[in-house]
């Protein structure tokens, strides 16, 4: 079983200038660095290294390099997960992904918030809040998912969105800040023509 640093959840704690946490982050960064040096086509070695980095990993999981995280063992990934290039997860708290999640390039999931008070912030105080992503979720390119957010099953987050509040299931949500635009309906099955082949 992987050792876990003692990071309090939902309350301020000494995140910076903390030798124990810095050591854990350093170990994880080294693993991510080695992962990112692999050939993008070396799926077998990628799977072995991801199993060392992540806390839980389902079947058919792909993180297209480069990928960076802080601790790794706070990340739980379901089956048939795909993340495109440049995924960043700051996982001071738990980050959970359901099954069949698609993440486009250049996305960031951050459980960390710095203290608002300048003296506390200068002293290195932070708070960590978990992020939960449901099943069948698609996160568009360049989206940022902030601390404490839950995204419900089947929802789509538009490119460039900043998700600062939870998003329900079965909706399309976009913007800065991200807001629900509409529900996903049966008509969406017919939004694009389906290629039938020759």
Q: What is the pLDDT of residues 71-117, one digit of tens each?
A: 999 999 999 999 999 999 999 999 999 999 999 999 999 999 998 99
When pLDDT is averaged across residues 140-167 and rounded to a whole number, the result is 98
In a domain, 197, yes or no: no
In a domain, 189, yes or no: no
When pLDDT is averaged across residues 25-29 and rounded to a whole number, the result is 97
Determine the pLDDT at residue 194. 85
In a domain, 192, yes or no: no
Q: Which residue, among 149, 144, 150, 156, has the nearest Cα to 181 in the 3D structure?
A: 156
Evaluate if residue 5 carries a pLDDT over 80. Answer: no
Taking the C-alpha atoms of residue 77 and residue 33, their distance in angstroms, rounded to an integer, is: 20
Evaluate if residue 174 carries a pLDDT over 60. Answer: yes
Domain with 153 in it: what CATH number? 2.160.10.10
Structural domain for 104, as ranges: 13-183
Q: How many domains does the chain have?
A: 1
Average pLDDT of the chain is 94
In a domain, 193, yes or no: no
Taking the C-alpha atoms of residue 131 and residue 97, their distance in angstroms, rounded to an integer, is: 9
| Active-site choice (27, 31, 85, 114) | 114
Got the DSSP string for 106-168? Answer: S-EEE-EEE-SSHHHHHTTEEEE--EEE-TT-EE-TT-EE-TT-EE-TT-EE-TT-EE-S-B-
What percent of the chain is predicted at pLDDT more than 90?
82
Determine the pLDDT at residue 193. 87
What percent of the chain is predicted at pLDDT more than 70?
95
Is residue 114 among the annotated active site residues? yes
Evaluate if residue 1 carries a pLDDT over 50. Answer: no
In a domain, 41, yes or no: yes
In a domain, 166, yes or no: yes
Helix 43-53 vs helix 19-36: crossing angle, to nearest 10: 170
In a domain, 74, yes or no: yes
Q: What would the pLDDT profile of 59-68 be if each residue is shown by its tens digit?
A: 999 999 999 9
When pLDDT is averaged across residues 170-196 and rounded to a whole number, the result is 93
When pLDDT is averaged across residues 52-58 and rounded to a whole number, the result is 97
């Amino acid at each position: 079983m992987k050792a876990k640093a003692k990071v309090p959840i939902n309350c301020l704690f000494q995140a910076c200038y903390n030798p124990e946490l810095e050591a854990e982050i350093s170990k994880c960064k080294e693993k991510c660095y080695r992962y990112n040096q692999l050939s993008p086509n070396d799926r077998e070695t990628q799977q072995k290294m991801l199993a060392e980095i992540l806390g839980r990993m389902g079947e058919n999981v792909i993180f297209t390099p480069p990928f960076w995280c802080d601790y790794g063992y706070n990340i739980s990934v379901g089956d048939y997960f795909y993340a495109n290039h440049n995924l960043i997860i700051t996982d001071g708290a738990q980050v959970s992904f359901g099954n069949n999640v698609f993440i486009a390039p250049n996305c960031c999931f951050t459980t960390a918030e710095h203290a608002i008070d300048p003296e506390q912030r200068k002293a290195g105080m932070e708070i960590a809040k978990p992020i939960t992503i449901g099943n069948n979720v698609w996160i568009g390119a360049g989206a940022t998912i902030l601390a404490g957010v839950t995204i419900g099953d089947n929802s789509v987050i538009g490119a460039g969105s900043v998700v600062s509040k939870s998003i329900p299931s079965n909706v399309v949500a976009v913007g800065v800040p991200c807001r629900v635009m509409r529900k996903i309906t049966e008509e969406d099955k017919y939004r694009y023509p389906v290629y039938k082949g020759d």
